[in-house]
C-alpha cells in the first residue's frame, strides 16, 4: 500500500511538472533539476537506491536559496511570476527528496496542484489536456491510497492482502472514478464559457519564441525561422473553391535599411476600435473591375511569433475582431500589446488583378517617397548591376519584372547562412555566394529597385501553407515564413514581386505529414472549443444541437424504412456466401466452450495414467491416482473430510472390503509420493481397478 501511494504521488507531481514544461515557460535549469529529483525519488521508492539527506544539508540549501531569491528577482528573472515559479519548484525538489511524514506528503500534493494551476494559466496547447487527464487519474489514485494508508496506520492488526491484487483493484477503482468525473464534468465544461482565463493572463508576461516579424528584422532571421516546423497560423476559408488559392499572408512592411537590418517607419497610427458588432472597415469597399473577394477566418498563435502583427491575404476591407486594431505606416496592422496572444479574427479581403489601374490613386510624394528610396552606404557594384539589368526601360513595372526575373534565374536557393558575417551582406550575396534564402533575394531586389529610383519595401509574412483535410483549415508553419518585395507603380500602387526561386528540395507528403494532420486537427479543435470557447461558440453549439435533434426527430422513421431492406439484402448476400463456413466455426466454438475444458482434463489425466501403466510414474502422479480414488468413493457416497489425513480417512471407512482397498491404496500412495518408489504406481492402478469393480 505504501509503495502504491508513493508512486501515485510521484506520478501526480510528474504530471503537474510536465504540464508546466509543455507550456514552454519553464527554463532549462529548472526543468533539468526537477526531472533529476523525480527520477532519483523514483529509484529510492523502487528500492534501487538507498539515499537519505541529512537535515543540515537541507537547511543549508534552504538558507542559500533565501539569499538567492532577491538575486533571481532583480537580475535573472526580472519579474515576480518567474522567480516565484522557481521558488515553488525549489520547494518541490526539496520535498520530493526528503518527504517522510504525512505532512510532507500533503505539501507535495499541494505543490502538484499549484503546478497544474500554473500550467492552466500558461499553456494553450493540446498537451495540457493530456497531462490534465493524467493528473486526474493519478490524483484519484493518490487520494484513495492515502486514505487507505492512513486508516491502516490506525489499526493494531489487519488481514494480509496480496500486493499485486491490491494494486490491480486500486487501479481499477481509480480508472472507474476518473471516468465518472470526466462524464459528469463534460456537460459543465461545454455549458460554461471561459471567462477567468482572460483575467489570469494579465499576470503572465508574453513569451516570444521566434524573431523575424517584429518592427526590426536582421538579415538571416527569417532563414532561421524556416528551419523550424512549428504551427503558427490556421486559416479556414468560407468557400470551398478558395482553398486551393496560392496566396501570401502579409504581415509587416519594412522600409528603412541600414545595410544589415530592415525596420518599419516610425510613428503610430490611430487606434481603430470595433463597432458593436465587432467589425472594423480597413479599406474602401468600392467596386474594382476584375477583383475577386474572399472571406476567411484566421487563428493566430501569437505566442509563437515575435510580433503583434495581423496577417492578411490580399487587401483587407472588413475585419471582425475582439481587440483594438492599430494601423501603422506602411499598411501594417497590429493589435494592442495586451491583446496580442492567440488572436482569432474574420476577414473579408479583395484580390486585385495584376494589371488593374486606379485613376483615383494618390501619387507617392514628399517624405514618404524619400523614405522608400533611402539607401545606406553600399558597394557601388550593386547600383551598376541594377542599371545594367534595367537598361533603358522606362516603365517601373517592367523594370521591376526584369530585376525579379534576373534574381530568380541567376541565383540559387539555400537556407545555409554564411560561415562568417560579411561586412556588406547584400554585396556578398550578389557577387560572391550567389545563393541564399528569401530574405537575401527580397533585400537585394528592394535595394536595386531603389538604386534605379523605384520606391520599394520588403514585406515579411508566410506562404500559403498546406491544406489539412481533417480539420478543413489551411495549416501554416514557421517553415512557410517568407519575404518578398512591394514596389510602387504609378496608377497601380504597391505591386507584389517575389524574386526568390523555388526550393530545389520541397517538402514531400510523407506518412508523418499525414499523421501530423490528425494531431493538428486535434489542436485546432482544442483552440476552437476549449481555449477560445466563448458565448458565441456556446450559442453556435446549442444551435447545431437543436438542428440535429429536429432532423433526427423528423426523419429517423423514413431513414429507418429505407435502411432496413438494404440491411436485409446485404445480410442475405453475406449469409449465402459465408454462411456454411461461419456456421461451422460457430459450432466448433460452441463445442469447445462446452466440452473443451473437460475434454482437455480427461485427455491429460488419461495420458498420465497410461504413463503410469508403462512404469514411467513420477512422485507427482501419486496425487493424480489418489484423486481418482476419491472420485470413485464420491460416486459411492463417501467423501473425505478436509481435516482428515489419508491414513485417518482409510481407518474410518465402514465397508470392510472398501476399507482394505483404500488402506492398501493409501500405503502405495505414501510410497510413491514420499518414498519415490515407482513400482507402487502399478499397485495403485491395480487397486483402483479392483475398487471400481466393488459392487
Q: Residue 199 — pLDDT band, cuts 50, 70, 90?
A: very low
- How would you class 311 by CB atoms within 10 Å of its CB: exposed for 0-12, middle for 13-18, buried for 19 or more? buried
Our CA dihedral for 8, 9, 10, 15, rounded to 10 degrees, sits at 90
Mean pLDDT to the nearest integer, 493-501:
92
User: In this structure, are residues 15 and 92 in contact, taking their beta carbons and an 8 Å threshold?
Assistant: no
CA angle (376 as vertex; 396, 262 as ends), nearest 5: 80
User: In this structure, are residues 389 and 447 in contact, taking their beta carbons and an 8 Å threshold?
Assistant: no
Phi/psi of residue 5, nearest 5 degrees: -65, -45
Q: Which residue has the higher pLDDT, 559 or 421?
A: 421
Q: What is the DSSP letter of 485?
A: E
- Residue 425's contacts (CB-CB under 8 Å, 6 or more residues apart) are 219, 259, 260, 418, 440, 443
pLDDT for res 595: 66
Cell 486535434, residue located: 522
Least confident of 67-71, 157-161, 518-522: 157-161
Our CA dihedral for 52, 58, 60, 61, rounded to 10 degrees, sits at 110
Least confident of 10-24, 321-335, 420-434, 463-477: 321-335
pLDDT at 11 over 80: yes
Mean pLDDT to the nearest integer, 62-78:
86
Q: Residue 333 — pLDDT band, cuts 50, 70, 90?
A: confident
CA angle (542 as vertex; 234, 472 as ends), nearest 5: 25
Mean pLDDT to the nearest integer, 503-531:
74
How many Å apart are CA 121 and CA 90, to the nearest integer? 20
Q: Which run of H or of E encompasses 523?
A: helix 511-526
Q: Which residue has the higher pLDDT, 260 or 214?
A: 260
Q: Residue 2 — pLDDT band, cuts 50, 70, 90?
A: confident
pLDDT at 389 over 90: yes
For the chain, how are helix, strand and coil distributed in percent, rounded to 5? 55, 15, 30
| pLDDT tens sequence across 278-302 | 788 888 766 677 788 999 999 876 5
| pLDDT tens sequence across 45-61 | 888 888 888 888 888 88
Q: How far is CA 200 from CA 204, 306, 358, in A?
A: 7, 21, 49
pLDDT for res 99: 87
Q: Which residue has the higher pLDDT, 528 or 426?
A: 426
Fold of 216-526: C8orf32 fold (3.10.620)
pLDDT at 206 over 50: no
CB atoms within 10 A of CB 348: 20
> Coil, strand or helix: which one is 99?
coil
Q: Which run of H or of E encompasses 300?
A: strand 292-300
Q: Residue 542 — pLDDT band, cuts 50, 70, 90?
A: low
Least confident of 65-74, 504-513, 662-671: 504-513
Q: What is the mean pLDDT of the chain?
A: 80
Least confident of 147-161, 256-270, 502-516, 561-575: 147-161
Phi/psi of residue 543, nearest 5 degrees: -65, -45
How many Å apart are CA 422 and CA 429, to the nearest integer? 9
Q: Where are the domains of the chain?
A: 2-201, 216-526, 615-693
User: In this structure, are residues 680 and 615 in contact, taking their beta carbons and an 8 Å threshold?
Assistant: no
Q: Residue 562 — pLDDT band, cuts 50, 70, 90?
A: low
pTM: 0.61
User: Which DSSP string corresponds to 365-416?
Assistant: -HHHHHHTT---S--HHHHHHHHHHHTT---HHHHHHHHHHHHHHHSEE--P
pLDDT for res 563: 66
Mean pLDDT to the nearest integer, 305-312:
74
CB atoms within 10 A of CB 487: 26
CB atoms within 10 A of CB 305: 26
- Reference 481, options 233, 173, 206; nearest CA is 233
Amino acid at each position: 500500500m505504501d509503495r502504491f501511494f508513493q508512486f501515485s504521488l510521484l506520478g501526480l507531481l510528474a504530471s503537474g511538472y510536465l504540464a508546466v514544461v509543455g507550456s514552454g515557460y519553464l527554463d532549462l535549469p529548472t526543468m533539468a533539476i526537477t526531472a533529476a529529483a523525480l527520477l532519483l525519488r523514483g529509484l529510492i521508492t523502487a528500492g534501487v537506491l538507498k539515499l537519505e539527506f541529512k537535515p543540515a544539508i537541507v537547511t543549508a540549501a534552504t538558507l542559500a536559496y533565501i539569499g538567492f531569491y532577491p538575486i533571481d528577482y532583480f537580475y535573472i528573472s526580472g519579474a515576480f511570476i518567474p522567480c516565484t515559479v522557481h521558488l515553488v519548484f525549489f520547494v518541490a525538489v526539496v520535498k520530493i527528496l526528503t518527504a517522510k511524514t504525512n505532512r510532507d506528503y500533503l505539501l507535495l500534493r499541494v505543490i502538484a496542484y499549484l503546478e497544474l494551476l500554473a500550467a492552466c494559466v500558461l499553456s494553450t496547447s493540446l498537451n495540457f489536456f493530456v497531462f490534465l487527464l493524467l493528473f486526474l487519474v493519478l490524483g484519484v489514485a493518490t487520494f484513495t491510497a492515502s486514505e487507505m494508508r492512513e486508516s491502516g496506520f490506525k489499526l493494531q492488526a489487519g488481514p494480509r492482502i496480496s500486493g499485486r491484487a491490491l494494486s490491480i483493484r486500486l487501479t481499477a477503482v481509480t480508472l472507474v472514478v476518473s471516468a465518472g468525473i470526466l462524464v459528469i464534468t463534460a456537460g459543465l465544461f461545454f455549458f460554461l464559457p471561459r471567462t477567468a482565463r482572460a483575467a489570469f493572463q494579465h499576470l503572465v508576461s508574453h513569451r516570444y519564441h521566434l524573431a523575424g516579424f517584429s518592427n526590426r528584422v536582421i538579415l538571416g532571421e527569417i532563414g532561421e525561422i524556416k528551419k523550424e516546423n512549428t504551427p503558427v497560423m490556421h486559416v479556414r476559408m468560407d468557400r470551398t473553391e478558395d482553398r486551393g488559392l496560392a496566396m501570401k499572408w502579409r504581415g509587416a512592411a519594412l522600409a528603412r535599411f541600414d545595410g544589415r537590418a530592415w525596420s518599419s517607419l516610425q510613428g503610430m497610427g490611430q487606434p481603430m476600435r470595433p463597432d458593436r458588432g465587432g467589425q472594423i472597415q480597413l479599406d474602401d469597399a468600392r467596386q474594382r473591375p476584375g477583383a475577386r473577394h474572399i472571406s476567411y477566418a484566421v487563428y493566430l498563435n501569437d505566442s509563437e511569433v515575435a510580433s503583434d502583427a495581423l496577417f492578411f491575404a490580399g487587401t483587407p476591407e472588413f475585419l471582425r475582431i475582439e481587440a483594438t486594431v492599430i494601423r501603422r505606416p506602411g499598411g501594417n496592422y497590429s493589435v494592442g500589446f495586451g491583446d496580442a496572444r492567440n488572436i482569432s479574427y474574420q476577414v473579408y479581403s479583395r484580390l486585385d488583378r495584376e494589371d488593374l489601374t486606379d485613376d483615383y490613386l494618390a501619387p507617392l510624394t514628399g517624405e514618404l517617397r524619400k523614405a522608400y528610396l533611402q539607401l545606406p552606404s553600399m558597394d557601388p557594384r550593386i547600383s551598376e548591376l541594377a542599371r545594367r539589368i534595367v537598361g533603358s526601360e522606362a516603365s517601373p513595372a517592367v523594370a521591376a519584372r526584369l530585376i525579379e526575373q534576373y534574381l530568380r534565374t541567376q541565383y540559387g536557393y539555400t537556407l545555409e547562412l554564411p560561415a562568417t558575417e560579411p561586412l556588406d551582406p547584400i554585396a556578398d550575396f550578389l557577387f560572391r555566394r550567389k545563393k541564399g534564402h528569401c530574405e537575401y533575394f527580397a533585400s537585394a531586389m528592394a535595394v536595386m529597385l531603389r538604386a534605379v529610383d523605384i520606391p520599394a519595401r520588403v514585406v515579411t509574412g508566410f506562404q500559403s501553407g498546406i491544406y489539412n483535410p481533417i480539420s478543413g483549415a489551411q495549416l501554416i508553419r514557421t517553415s512557410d515564413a517568407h519575404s518578398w518585395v512591394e514596389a510602387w507603380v504609378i496608377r497601380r500602387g504597391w505591386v507584389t514581386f517575389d524574386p526568390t526561386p523555388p526550393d530545389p528540395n520541397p517538402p514531400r507528403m510523407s506518412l508523418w505529414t499525414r499523421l501530423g494532420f490528425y494531431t493538428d486537427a486535434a489542436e485546432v479543435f482544442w483552440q476552437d472549443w476549449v481555449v477560445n470557447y466563448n458565448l458565441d461558440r456556446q450559442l453556435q453549439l446549442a444551435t447545431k444541437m437543436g438542428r440535429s435533434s429536429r432532423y433526427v426527430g423528423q426523419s429517423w422513421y423514413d431513414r429507418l424504412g429505407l435502411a432496413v431492406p438494404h440491411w436485409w439484402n446485404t445480410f442475405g448476400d453475406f449469409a449465402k456466401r459465408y454462411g456454411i463456413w461461419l456456421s461451422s466455426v460457430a459450432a466448433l466454438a460452441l463445442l469447445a466452450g462446452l466440452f473443451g475444458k473437460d475434454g482437455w482434463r480427461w485427455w491429460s489425466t488419461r495420458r498420465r495414467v497410461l504413463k503410469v501403466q508403462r512404469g514411467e510414474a513420477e512422485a507427482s502422479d501419486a496425487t493424480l491416482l489418489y484423486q481418482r480414488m476419491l472420485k470413485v468413493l464420491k460416486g459411492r457416497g463417501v467423501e473425505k473430510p478436509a481435516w482428515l489425513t489419508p491414513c485417518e480417512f482409510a481407518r474410518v471407512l465402514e465397508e470392510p472390503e472398501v476399507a482394505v482397498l483404500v488402506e492398501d491404496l493409501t500405503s502405495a500412495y505414501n510410497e510413491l509420493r514420499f518414498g519415490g518408489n515407482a513400482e507402487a504406481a502399478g499397485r495403485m492402478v491395480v487397486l483402483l481397478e479392483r475398487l471400481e469393480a466393488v459392487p
